[in-house]
């Protein structure tokens, strides 16, 4: 606190007691105690008001922990996570309508794809397409 250790604080209190004098020291001590009580009441009222405004019982502090948002952890969890039921585990086969539209645009490549493609499966990869 302010870079003052216990011995220095004791010396400051002793000097303050000598400067103030024994007549006014009890009045100042009482005044200081009143300020401390008032400050404690204000802090308690402020805490109660913040709790009432924010709903302290509803706050999930674990969800607000910034350590949960480490990018390395997010990527690791995403890679180790099992795919859910609505996510396909591999890319879906192209729809027949899209294959025909592509085949019309590139006739030689499409002829090769139709000849080499298994029935109902996706077309093989074409190195020259890109």
Q: What is the pLDDT of residues 49-105, one digit of tens each?
A: 988 887 766 667 788 788 778 888 888 888 887 766 655 555 555 555 544 444 445
DSSP per-residue string spanning 70-124: -HHHHHHHHHHSPPPTTS-SSPPPPPHHHHHHHHHHSHHHHHHHHHHSPTTSPPP
Distance CA(66)–CA(70), nearest Å, equals: 7
Backbone φ and ψ for 91, nearest 5 degrees, come out as -60, 140
Is the model's pLDDT at 1 over the cut of 60? no
Q: Where exactly are the structural domains of the chain?
A: 1-82
Is the model's pLDDT at 120 over the cut of 80? no
Q: What is the pLDDT of residues 90-99, one digit of tens each?
A: 555 555 554 4
* pTM of the entire predicted model: 0.36
């Amino acid at each position: 606190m302010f870079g003052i250790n216990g011995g220095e604080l004791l010396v400051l209190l002793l000097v303050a007691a000598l400067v103030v004098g024994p007549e006014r020291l009890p009045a100042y001590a009482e005044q200081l105690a009143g300020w401390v009580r008032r400050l404690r009441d204000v802090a308690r009222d402020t805490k109660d008001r913040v709790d009432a405004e924010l709903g302290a019982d509803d706050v999930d502090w674990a969800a607000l922990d910034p350590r949960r948002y480490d990018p390395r952890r997010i990527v690791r969890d995403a890679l180790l996570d099992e795919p859910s039921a609505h996510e396909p585990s591999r890319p879906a086969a192209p729809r027949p309508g899209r294959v025909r539209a592509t085949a019309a645009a590139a006739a030689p490549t499409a002829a090769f794809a139709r000849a080499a493609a298994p029935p109902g499966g996706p077309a093989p990869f074409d190195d020259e397409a890109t």
